[in-house]
Structure 1
Amino acid sequence: MNAIDRTGKKYNRLWFVITLLAGTFTMSISQSSLSTAYPTLMRYFDISASTVQWLTTGFMLIMCVTMPMSPWLLNNVSFKRLFLTILLVFDAGTLVIVLAPSFWVMMVGRIMEAIAVGVLFPSFQSVLLTITDEHQRGKTMGMAGLVMGSALACGPIISGIVLNYFSWRGLFVVFMLVISLVFVGALGGLIRDVMPQKSSHLDYWSVILSVGLIGVLYVINQIGQKNVDWGKNSMLLVVSVGALVWFVIRQFHLTTPLLELRVMKTINFDLAVILTAISYVALIVTTIIFPLYYQEVLGVSPLISGLALVPAAVFLSILNPLTGKLADKVGFRRVMLTGMGLIVLGWLLVTALTEQLNIWIMMGCAMIIEGGNAFVMMPAVTMGANALPTQLVPHGTAVTTTIRQILGSTGVAVATLVLTTVTQHQNMSGVAASVAQISGFRVTFILMLAIELVGLVLALALRDTQAE
């Protein structure tokens, strides 16, 4: 499968895609596998659960700020150089973690990893969409979804195997070795300059204002936490929202904005962004709330609750490439309507059967929800890209991934808050602890059902359109 790069030279497109997705897969696993190592890290550094959680929370905050930078970087830096730099930054951050003498030094390495991942995640989607013919994009993005879904399934398994034989540092050594191999392959010619270049000035004010994302997401993640100073948090939220409003207004007044938000005016793209975010909320909340139900209500071990998530993740991985091909054949609207219908069905079942749920029923419901996600999330990204001119695809994917990350984080925070609040209120009313827990989960399930019903209604408004 030969193709032509930006310089007019031939390259092997298949090996290009494999190398690109290998780096993405490894970085994605570094996210999904880390929670398994939390107890080990808590003992090693003698830290609390709320402190170790910053390995994920801090990672997410930095990642969201670097995502809007990806369109500018793709336009101003040759893709091969950009990809090699991303790999180097990630490898250097991982090395800092391996050698870290304290938790906060480890956090520095984690931040470096987050910078690399934040740039890569929207960039790899933009590149795949740009180098693929429009009628084949569904298939290609389905393969990308397979990689991301596999990382979700494999992360906890790989982490568990490595931690069973080696120390926690061994887990990061594995990541570093794989990324180093990808770097060698990319340097050796497997990655080429395939993105069109259009040099532009970097608007530093936009970069500074985009940091408001950190403040907003930080406050969101404080929802439901104990001993939170809401006076300071409220002030931080006001300042951060103000910065983001200024950021948005500024983008519409710049000739070459950091992030082209005008893409949101495009038919189908706006709905695609919202639908991919709503489906992501369903996916991420399932991976957080279901294990809590397994452990707190059904009384299973953390290991079993983690393994119970694997079938749904595997199902998601299998369906992703199939739904991509299906979208190319029958249209994105039908595929995404099917997906939203499955997601709604999954949440409807857990809501209706809350008091009768066992681990097997919940595993089946998780498979329905995550299977529905395969019909929505990547097809929505592809449909949104098809609605845009080629030169705006990088901006479109950056907008999509950023909004998806923000709404996913918000969804988890709100679901956790509802679960905690309802359970505590029931306990204060003198209800038995077990009944209070089930009530909390039922209300949380109803909330998720309502959100996904909104997504189903929005899917009905989709139109099968071609790029203008």
Structure 2
Amino acid sequence: MEKDSSMSSLTRFWFIVTMLVGTFTMSISQSSLSTAYPTLMNYFGVSADTIQWLTTGFMIVMCITMPISPWLLNNMSFKKLFIGALLLFDVGTLIIFYGSSFLIVMLGRVMEAAAVGVLFPSYQTVLLEITPEKKRGTIMGVAGLVMGSALACGPIISGIFLKFTTWRGLFVFFMVVITIILGLSFFVMRDVMPRIETKLDWLSIFYSLGLVGLLYVITEIGKSGTDWLILGIILLISIIMLALFVHRQLTIPDPLLDLWVMKSFNYDLAVLLTGFSYISLIVVTIIFPLYYQGVLHVSPFISGMALVPGAAFLSILNPLTGTLADKIGFKPTMLIGMTMIVLGWGLLSILTISDIWIMIGIAMLIEGGNAFVMMPAVTLGANSLPNPLISHGTAVITTVRQVLGSTGVAVATLVLVDFTKHASLSGKSLVMANQFGFHAVYWTFFGIAVIGFIIALLIKNTQNDSE
């Protein structure tokens, strides 16, 4: 079916604004509950390990729905897809609001995650499709507000609502904004994607569930009392399923997710680089509040507010770095960002910091660096592919980034717990043991940032193959 390309400049503006605001609001929900854990634990009478599934489960469901997004874009009107995702999220949020038990709230979170998982790669594909290549850096810089800033803003917005309302107030906010965007969508959204209808491959979807097992193992590795035999069995089955998924995508005529995009080495480097920058961003939003509360002894509200400058700096830089990438090239832009990230983790590794303002400054340095890397890497990766493969390429990038982000959080948690425990058992005071654990985390991610810098050196500026 032909796509609807008849959009005036005003319609195009509201189309993009509606899409970005809707996706931004939905994305906030991914990281918004971390500051609400104690409140939710007390309310539902569950343990910390259980309540964390409101975030862990969210990330897992996102990952298993992301590979389906290219098929949906090819077989559905984008307007219907967007409205359907908003409606699914809105209903899920309503279920959470009225939820009287943890299981009901978890059901609502699964519905929210499915909506975000479908929409996250789709909105990037649509933006790339409707934007000339020479302007893609700029528009994808604006899109970076959704990907980076939403993640950083989640704990901040949650902290504000928890201070002035109950935990349900946060979900009222989500419902109000999404309902407004849903109403606007009926008037401003258009079917902008060409459609090539194919049959949905249910066997591929079944094999993709190996991602569930993989992410489950990743999240359970750092917990005490881990049953390594069970985890090993789950990991083996998951790897076999994912191997079958990859083989099927490479051999069937109409794959659910076309993995031949990986044959472009430049695209592969872009996938890794966007994942590495995302790791730094998500670890900062998780680890820094723990440092503020555990070492600097500030309140949860102050620790949440301390994330504001970094999130604001990231939000300001995202559109600017996109324009910069269009002017000086993607590689120089990404090298600037990786230099900032390496410098930030390096300073944390060699310094013992007792001033929250210095920590805020370093958080701004790392998060600002992310603005120079993540969306330029996504755009460069898309430019390395022919147009028909862009939807598959963005789905692969988004899925890999999510898996790497989950792995980064698991590694950070494992290193922090183990090194703090080791230092405490060796006779160090609680304060010194905490410092030792955090420095181990900083050195770990300094090493990861250096690898990311090397990847940025290897990347080449590439024009779109379709030209």
Q: Percent identity, please.
A: 60
Residue number in structure 2 paired with 1:101: 100
Alignment of 1:305-454 (within 5 A): 305-353=303-351, 355-454=352-451
1:438-466 superposed Cα distances (whole Å, 9 cap, x missing partner): 22222211111111101111111111110
**CA gap 1:166/1:25 in 2 versus in 1, 3 angstroms:** same
Please give the TM-score of this superposition, normalised by the length of structure 1: 0.96
Work out the CA distance in 2 between the residues paired with 1:97 and 1:308. 28
Cα deviation for residue 83 of structure 1 reads 0.8
**CA gap 1:366/1:8 in 2 versus in 1, 3 angstroms:** closer
Work out the CA distance in 2 between the residues paired with 1:150 and 1:410. 20
SS of residue in 1 equivalent to 2:256: coil
One-letter code aligned to 2:243:
V
Cα deviation for residue 357 of structure 1 reads 4.2
State whether residues 149 and 314 of structure 1, in contact with CA within 8 Å, keep that contact through their aligned partners in structure 2. Answer: no
1:272-319 superposed Cα distances (whole Å, 9 cap, x missing partner): 000000001111111111222222222222221111111111111111
Residue number in structure 1 paired with 2:202: 204
State whether residues 30 and 59 of structure 2, in contact with CA within 8 Å, keep that contact through their aligned partners in structure 1. Answer: no
Cα deviation for residue 35 of structure 1 reads 2.0
Aligned length: 462
Work out the CA distance in 2 between the residues paired with 1:328 and 1:310. 28
One-letter code aligned to 1:329:
K
- Whether 1:275 and 2:298 are equivalent positions in the alignment is no
State whether residues 273 and 384 of structure 1, in contact with CA within 8 Å, keep that contact through their aligned partners in structure 2. Answer: yes
Cα deviation for residue 340 of structure 1 reads 0.6
State whether residues 93 and 112 of structure 1, in contact with CA within 8 Å, keep that contact through their aligned partners in structure 2. Answer: yes
Alignment of 1:153-168 (within 5 A): 153-168=152-167
**CA gap 1:160/1:292 in 2 versus in 1, 3 angstroms:** closer
**CA gap 1:127/1:28 in 2 versus in 1, 3 angstroms:** same
Work out the CA distance in 2 between the residues paired with 1:439 and 1:38. 25
Work out the CA distance in 2 between the residues paired with 1:198 and 1:297. 55
SS of residue in 1 equivalent to 2:310: helix
SS of residue in 2 equivalent to 1:10: coil
SS of residue in 2 equivalent to 1:9: coil
Work out the CA distance in 2 between the residues paired with 1:86 and 1:250. 27
**Aligned-residue CA RMSD (Å):** 1.5
Work out the CA distance in 1 between the residues paired with 2:354 and 2:321. 29
1:150-186 superposed Cα distances (whole Å, 9 cap, x missing partner): 4345433433343344332222122112111111111
One-letter code aligned to 1:14:
F
Cα deviation for residue 375 of structure 1 reads 0.4
Cα deviation for residue 427 of structure 1 reads 1.8
Work out the CA distance in 2 between the residues paired with 1:287 and 1:159. 13
- Whether 1:42 and 2:44 are equivalent positions in the alignment is no
Please give the TM-score of this superposition, normalised by the length of structure 2: 0.96
**CA gap 1:163/1:358 in 2 versus in 1, 3 angstroms:** closer
Q: Which runs of 5+ in 1 are unaligned?
A: none
State whether residues 350 and 357 of structure 1, in contact with CA within 8 Å, keep that contact through their aligned partners in structure 2. Answer: no
Residue number in structure 1 paired with 2:251: 253
Cα deviation for residue 13 of structure 1 reads 0.7
Cα deviation for residue 8 of structure 1 reads 5.0
One-letter code aligned to 1:101:
S
One-letter code aligned to 1:336:
M
Cα deviation for residue 39 of structure 1 reads 2.3
Residue number in structure 2 paired with 1:126: 125
